[in-house]
Amino acid sequence: MISKSIRDQFVEFITLQGFDDKYIDRKEEKRILEVGVKNDISVTESLALIQEIAKDKGLVIERDVEDKAKAVLESGTADGKITKKEFEEAFNVFKVACKGKVPDQEIKQRLKQMMETNGWKAGGMFGIKWYTSI
């Protein structure tokens, strides 16, 4: 168990990471975890503290945003293909969840990468032109 003073300092460090933009990206999250480990705080405990602070301070955690968008894509992959409509739904979920902190084109590229990583193909009645244009 960590001391109260180390915990308090760590909480302040987490808060500081999201202070300027209310957004904790993956690099910031990794940095937080590294600082936690250096202070004998387990990764599990650090992640729990990040979630707690984010909820209390209204911070957005990039990993959570990506997980929400991925869930939307997964729900549309019954046949292993993602339609333009399903992609747009995931895009909208991502955009709302990240509170505008990620540019539209970057969101599309991340979703496309997510599809490729998971082996999901673009499909649908209107072809895949929308997908190749990303």
Give the tens place of pLDDT for each residue, 18-57.
998 999 999 999 999 999 999 999 999 999 999 999 999 9
CB atoms within 10 A of CB 14: 25
Dihedral sign for Cα atoms in the order 15, 20, 26, 28:
negative
Question: What pLDDT is attached to residue 130?
Answer: 86
Separation of alpha carbons 38 and 54, rounded Å: 21
Give the tens place of pLDDT for each residue, 54-103.
999 999 999 999 999 999 999 877 777 899 999 999 999 999 999 889 99
